[in-house]
Structure 1
Amino acid sequence: MTTETKAKGFYGWWLLFFLWVVYTIPIGFAFYSPAVLYPFMIEDVGWSRGEIMMGFTATMLLFGLSGPLTAWMLGRFGARITLAIGGVIVAVATFLMGLMGHVYSVYLALSCLSGLGISCASMIPVQMVVVSWFSVRRALALGLVMGGGAIGGFLAPQIISEAVQATGGNWRIGWFIIAAASIIGMVVATLAVRNQPSDMGQHPDGVAPHEAKATAGANRTAKIYRTSINWTVRDALRTPALWLLIGAVVGSFFLWHVVVSQGPLHLQDRGFDPAMAAFFYSLAVGLSVVGRFTIAALGDIIEPRFLFAFGAFCILAGGILFWFVTPEAMWIAYLYPLLAGFGFGAAYICVPTITGNYWGPKAFATVSGLISPVTMSAQALAAPLAGFLYDIQGTYFTVMVISWIAAAIGFGAIFLCTPPKPKEGGSGGKSLF
């Protein structure tokens, strides 16, 4: 470590805490919490499950489709400003959602705006900052920060559910709470986030470049692949590994999003009261923190694609149990969120870890921004497909079978996702493209 860094202290560890807060709010409150509001909204405004789930789909679609825009903003303004702008957008969208009447088109428009804000305020910017600040301990750092999404995903819906029930089922108060939380996240991002260690005269991991090389040499026995070249996006798109990673994410996370988006409604159909349904829904999201912290501990020791595969298997097992949940079999009610939540948390952290390890930090934001529209758009189909099939058939069985098949394909794809090999003469230029 350099003398200057020793004197000042490595800011990266403090930054992880601030990023944890910044990431927790849009994911825990704005992304996961609306699901506990949907039953109250359906009862109040009279929309069907398929119609209400179109809002969730609109949010997810804009979350994914705005990935290239988020990547452009990161290059133009940096992560700190992008995160702040995203927080403001989410706050405005959710505040207006609380004032919304019964106009369905307004609901869809605000859901789209919320998805755009969440994209700018969470995943890609936060991951980019972590990848820039950490190399040797990348999986550890990503797991610690993004564990905030799981903790927020457990606590935030509980807070929202309690507030709504305490006000006699007033779902609007839930949207106002989300808006207030988003303002807090914006303030923290503005005051505490620093885009790169060089902004503070520091180095990744708090280690000078020559010492980093020595550390890398000493740790070769770990056998974790980390690219040593600067990949271009064009070359990355030509590698089978990128498309296999996309396939693994789409297949495994499709099942997860069916489980998480339909959880409160499915559990109430099976005889659970709204409070218990909200609890098990939150438990599934909250338990993903165990998977995320597992990757934090093991992701720099064991090849992340194998950890992803284990997570994908757990999602599949939990998704199967989800179908059989009843109040008479409470062990299933507790086991399905443990398996599905753990599996999602593990796989979720592996995605940016693999992306950073395979294609490097310089191309990370652009590659992630191009991956996001594909993966998120596919995942966004889960909620409306489940909702509309339920409206037609009165059961989730068909969509569950589709989801199980998709998850099995994703499980196989990640095993084939071996480290990419650059073509001769490629990836040597300065341009990201």
Structure 2
Amino acid sequence: MSSITQRKELEAKDSKCGFFYGYALVVILGFLYFCSSGIILATATIVNPLMLQDEALGMNATMLGTGFSLFVLVQGISAPLVGALISKFGARFSMTLGAMVLLCAILALIFFVSSPVAYFAVFGVVASAATMMVGQLAVQSTLGSWFVERRGVAMTCMMVIGASSSFIAPPAVNAIMGATGGGWRSGWYLIAALVALAIPVAFFLVKNHPSDIGEIPDGTSGAKVAAKKCDYRFVVYKNKESVPFKQVVRTPTFWLISLAATSGFAAYTLSTSQGFLHFTSLGFDSGLIVAGVALMGAMGLVGKISMGIVSDRIEPIRLIVVAALILVIGIVVGAEASSDAMLLVFYACIGVGFGGVNAVFPTAMANYFGAGSLSKNLGTGIMITTLVASALPIMSGAFFDATGSCALAFYVTAGIVAACAVCGILVRFPARGEGGVRSKEVVGG
């Protein structure tokens, strides 16, 4: 049976069913992102600084920042390993196992963590790696294989669902802590409940690839494109072949895309690890800071929607450049904030910028190199972004302990983010052939 005949049969089958499971996965994966990558740092931003008030822990600002640095660093170190795990066993396995490990880590934070070393190990290492197994890398690489023509829109919808936790969590966590006496341990109750629910959702509802249930990417629309021998011409560059991972890491474009995306992760890491400490040291009320964190989450949705929805029409890497410039503005404003408005501008810019980067980074990778090795490509790209971002909390904490201010760390971060924007500008695209660019053209062979 010819491939065209098979594709036509799939198209007829999809038309009869009238439902593409990829649409359900957008919601399912969005929920899993909500329960892991979406909510954990938003919660830690509010909860972890309260550890400084717990004399039994013996924490200072440098130790607090070290925990955040470890979290971000382990995200990066574990990302290629998680990518390989997903490639070999599938995202369903990774998400289920990761959710079980994450639940254990959250329960340990609630009941057992009583020293800085335990905080580093549980929050900085175990919870970080488990979050990567459930969240960002797993959901983005899975959805990338389910959509091609509408990849940008699908990724955006999924990320909007997941990232809604970033503005829901701060007031919810604050309310829970207030109702239970204000202790930092109770701030983790919400995540514990959500992760417990994520385990059966991942195990029973996640499907690794369309072919696992007899479907193809994009459903009926994808079948129509395939039936036309892939002559469909996309508005933005989309590689119709999958470049092998070993070739991907040898191309400068892979490194430029990853470094450009570092802008969002560097700025967000700074805001989540040091924002609360920085603004309280400037004399701002903690209630206003919590409102700012919630605003950051809400504006993150704006960034994801506004940039993600056009990422099938405007090159995603160029959108990352725009996002990076917004981040630079926000960081500079926040460094010397002297009014409520300046604080809110900082959090709004971080939200829009990081939201945009987070939404289109996986699309940029999938479009340029294809979806065949996306989990490995994205995992290695995340490692690059986090190796840079992980140094910022330690640097900021050290600056604060030495000077009583995080302003210098803010300016250094603004410079890093600006350099990342330049990397995005330097990305170039191969000439489009009739059937799409060949792998050797992508790597310059």
TM-score over 0.5 for the alignment? Answer: yes
- The answer for the alignment partner of 2:103 in structure 1 is 91
AA partner of residue 378 (structure 1):
V
**1:6 aligned residue:** 15
Distance 1:102 1:210, change over 3 A: closer
How far the C-alpha of 1:152 sits from its partner, in A, is 0.6
Task: For residue 228 of structure 1, give the secondary structure of its aligned residue in structure 2.
Answer: coil
Q: Provide the C-alpha distance between the structure 2 equivalents of 1:231 and 1:67, rounded to a whole number of angstroms.
A: 19
Aligned runs of 1:227-376 on 2, under 5 Å?
227-326=239-338, 329-376=339-386
Q: CA 1:218–1:357 in structure 2 vs 1: closer, same or farther (change >3 Å)?
A: closer
Runs of 4+ in 1 over 6 A off after TM superposition: none
In 1, the alpha carbon distance for the partners of 2:399 and 2:45 equals: 18
Query: Shift in Å at residue 264 of structure 1?
Result: 1.6
**C-alpha separation in 1, matches of 2:386 and 2:162:** 17
Q: Which moved more, 1:185-194 or 1:196-205?
A: 185-194
CA–CA separation in structure 2 for the residues paired with 1:103 and 1:297: 45
Corresponding residue number in structure 2 for 1:49 = 61
Which deviates further from its counterpart, 354-363 or 344-353?
Answer: 344-353
5+ residue gaps, structure 1: 429-433
Q: Distance in 1 between matches of 2:138 and 2:196?
A: 17
Distance in 1 of aligned mates of 2:336 and 2:231: 50
CA distance in 2, matches of 1:137, 1:426: 22
Q: How does 1:83-232 map onto structure 2 within 5 Å?
A: 83-111=95-123, 112-207=125-220, 211-213=224-226, 214=228, 217=231, 219-220=233-234, 222=235, 224-232=236-244
Percent identity reads 25
Shift of 1:61: 1.6
Deviations 1:202-255 (A, max 9, x none): 1111136662144964544x2x00112221122112211111112212245323
For 2:205, give the aligned amino acid.
A
- Cα deviation, 1:37-88, whole Å, max 9, x if unaligned, reads 1232110134111101211222222211111221122122211121111111
2:114 and 2:95 mapped to 1: Cα distance? 31
Q: Does 1:17 align with 2:27?
A: yes
Q: Distance in 2 between matches of 1:367 and 1:360?
A: 10
Counterpart secondary structure, 2:36: helix
* AA partner of residue 198 (structure 1): S
Give the whole-Å Cα distance in 2 for the aligned partners of 1:101 and 1:255: 28
The aligned amino acid for 2:376 is T
**In 1: Cα distance, 2:242 partner to 2:113 partner:** 51
Provide the rounded CA distance (Å) in 2 between the counterparts of 1:416 and 1:383: 28
- Contact kept in structure 1, 2:73 and 2:386, CA below 8 Å: yes
Match of 1:27 in 2: 37
Unaligned ranges ≥5, structure 2:
1-9, 441-445
For 2:421, give the aligned amino acid: F
Measure, in 2, the Cα distance between the counterparts of 1:71 and 1:163: 35
Deviations 1:303-359 (A, max 9, x none): 112211111111111111112323xx3322332222221111112222101100011
In structure 1, what residue type is equivalent to 2:13? E
CA contact (8 A) 2:308 2:360 kept: no
- Once residues 309 and 51 of structure 1 are traced to their aligned partners in structure 2, the CA distance between those partners, rounded to angstroms, is 33
**Does the 8 A contact of 2:399 with 2:406 survive in 1?**
yes
- Tell whether the 8 Å contact from 1:255 to 1:382 is kept in structure 2 after alignment: no
1:216–1:292 Cα change, 3 Å:
farther
Deviations 1:138-175 (A, max 9, x none): 01011111123421111112211211122222111112
Change in CA separation of 1:242 and 1:32 when aligned onto 2, cut-off 3 Å: same
State the Cα distance separating 1:371 from its structure 2 match: 2.0
Counterpart of 1:69, as a letter, is: L
1:65 to 71, 74, 77: 77
- State whether residues 94 and 134 of structure 2, in contact with CA within 8 Å, keep that contact through their aligned partners in structure 1: yes
RMSD between superposed Cα atoms in Å:
2.1
